Amino acid sequence: MKTDDARVVVIGGGLAGITAAIALGQAGADVTLLEARPRLGGATCSFHRDGLIVDTGQHIFLGCCSAYRGLLAKLGMTEHAPLQDRFDVTVLAPGGRRARLRRTALPGPLHMLPALGRYPFLSWAERAKVSRPALAMRHLDPADPAADTQRFGDWLAARGQSERARRALWDLFSVSALNIAGDDASLALAATVVKTGLLGKNNAADIGVPALPLGELHGDAAATVLAKLGAQVTLGAKVTAIEGGAIEVTEGQQARFRVRLGRGEGADLAADAVVLAVPHEKAAPLLPPGALPAATVRGWAGLGASPIVNVHVIYDRPVTDLKFAAAIDSPVQWVFDRTRISGMTAAHHGAPGQYLAISLSAADEYADVPAARLREQFVPALAELFPAARDAQVTEFFVTRERRATFRQAPGSGALRPKAATRRPGLVLAGAWTDTGWPDTMEGAVRSGLTAAVELRHTVLTSTMGVRQ
């Protein structure tokens, strides 16, 4: 088979599938990307509502997310996803109390110590103990299976972290990074976050906030890049089966796989290699028999799902100057100013209003609560944090719910996450839920897509593909 003859089908147009498709397209493969929904981007998506562009879920990333930032660069989007020049988070509490956690220019982990030493929501004794677990993390290997059996909360408590310290400090970052109540998170995944973000380079935890709606930042940009690479992108194409074996394509020409689509969604495709980049509950029924042990595939159900809810509140006037903030002693976890990014204009929404989105991770208790009840809870909660909101009118209020936002990143989950390779040469897995060592995040998704592409290039595609640099 000649260099450019390798037909690769990528199933799933989230960040994992997009990354794999770009990497394989750049390496010279003939790539087709199949996405069930009418758009690319997967869990990172936007929609239009009454003149606003709304992200279904606010996303952020960190300076240490090197793979994700690499994807942004390939998409030509680096400047639209700026990083803070220094980690800097304002923490609000009801009654106008606030703190600022801002790193210094010192090398990590010293860079956070001055801010933590002044953190007013902990007692002096609690502040004095904060560095204990941070330093203990140095000796913890996130890849050690023993770390995957422990709860982060128990581990913190055993290192002198009071209930208050866990709720008012550690939860601020672990709940949003791992989408699970802080005490319940897998120690292994928490260790990845703490070691990379807190103990790594001093700019590792600097926060990046997209300045464009996610649909533009990822989905639209990926469609343009893939088109330039000559990849075929088919939207609204739901794969119903992957069949393995020597498939006759034309006389004398065979392919390893046939990818079947739903009725009316196009012709089935023959492929030399397949990247299956869909969530675990969708991947399990698509795998051909024998691709992985049946018990392994059944085990994926144990990864479960954890919801994220976003509460969107639009005021008739500005209520805060902060671009984003975290909160403690409040049902609000993190809140973001989305006025500019949503394209909110005075013409549509009255001037000069402000659009705030509250991001609620590990949101099991809110996932099924009606919007009216959430309004009764969250509008007063915002007024407690932002005194100016007390006199402002709420002109719009709506809620977006992602019930399966991530897998449940609890102890034991690490053992259930599969590697990219399967027993079928040419069939590889990708997705933020696979064994990336990272939490279920954009960084994890991009890493998985790169790993899947490398796995194919080191195995079945080496003999058939050249590399276009």
Residue 271 is a binding residue for ligand FAD (CB under 6 A): no
How many residues does this entry show for the chain?
469
Residue 36 is a binding residue for ligand FAD (CB under 6 A): yes
Say if CB 309 and CB 367 are below 8 A apart: yes
Q: What phi, psi does 20 have (nearest 5°)? A: -65, -45
Residue 109 is a binding residue for ligand FAD (CB under 6 A): no
Q: Which of 239, 269, 305, 363 binds ligand FAD (CB under 6 A)?
A: 239
Q: For residue 224, with 0-12 CB atoms within 10 Å meaning exposed, 13-18 middle and 19 or more buried, which class applies?
A: exposed
Q: Which of 402, 411, 420, 455 binds ligand FAD (CB under 6 A)?
A: 402
Residue 441 is a binding residue for ligand FAD (CB under 6 A): yes
**Residue 336 and residue 53: Cα distance in Å, rounded?**
15
**Residue 257 and residue 269: Cα distance in Å, rounded?**
8
Residue 418 is a binding residue for ligand FAD (CB under 6 A): no
Q: Segment 9-28, which members bind ligand FAD (CB under 6 A)?
A: 11-17
Q: Name the minimum Å distance from CB 122 to ligand FAD.
A: 25
Q: For residue 462, with 0-12 CB atoms within 10 Å meaning exposed, 13-18 middle and 19 or more buried, which class applies?
A: exposed
Looking at the Cβ atoms of 189 and 389, the one nearer to ligand FAD is 189
Ranges of beta strands (E only) in 332-393 are: 334-337, 354-360
For 370, other C-beta atoms within 10 Å of its C-beta total 9
**Residue 237 and residue 91: Cα distance in Å, rounded?**
44
If we measure between CA atoms, which residue out of 242, 296, 282, 287 comes closest to residue 435? Answer: 296
Q: Name the minimum Å distance from CB 52 to ligand FAD.
A: 17
User: Where are the alpha helices (H) located in 388-436, listed in sequence order?
Assistant: 413-416
Residue 451 is a binding residue for ligand FAD (CB under 6 A): no
Residue 37 is a binding residue for ligand FAD (CB under 6 A): yes
Q: Name the minimum Å distance from CB 234 to ligand FAD.
A: 9
Piece of the chain touching ligand FAD by CB under 6 A; list 58-66, 107-115, 365-373, 410-418: 58-66
Looking at the Cβ atoms of 122 and 456, the one nearer to ligand FAD is 456
Residue 272 is a binding residue for ligand FAD (CB under 6 A): no
Q: Which of 168, 308, 344, 356 binds ligand FAD (CB under 6 A)?
A: 308
Say if CB 34 and CB 237 are below 8 A apart: yes
**Residue 71 and residue 51: Cα distance in Å, rounded?**
29
Looking at the Cβ atoms of 61 and 315, the one nearer to ligand FAD is 61
Helix (H, G, I), strand (E, B) or coil at 296: helix
Residue 349 is a binding residue for ligand FAD (CB under 6 A): no
If we measure between CA atoms, which residue out of 25, 464, 419, 450 comes closest to residue 256? Answer: 464
Residue 223 is a binding residue for ligand FAD (CB under 6 A): no
Piece of the chain touching ligand FAD by CB under 6 A; list 30-38, 289-297, 316-324, 329-337: 30-38
Residue 269 is a binding residue for ligand FAD (CB under 6 A): no
Query: Where do contacts with ligand FAD occur on this chain (CB under 6 A)?
Result: 11-17, 34-37, 42-44, 56-57, 59-61, 238-239, 277-279, 282, 308, 402, 405-406, 431-432, 440-445
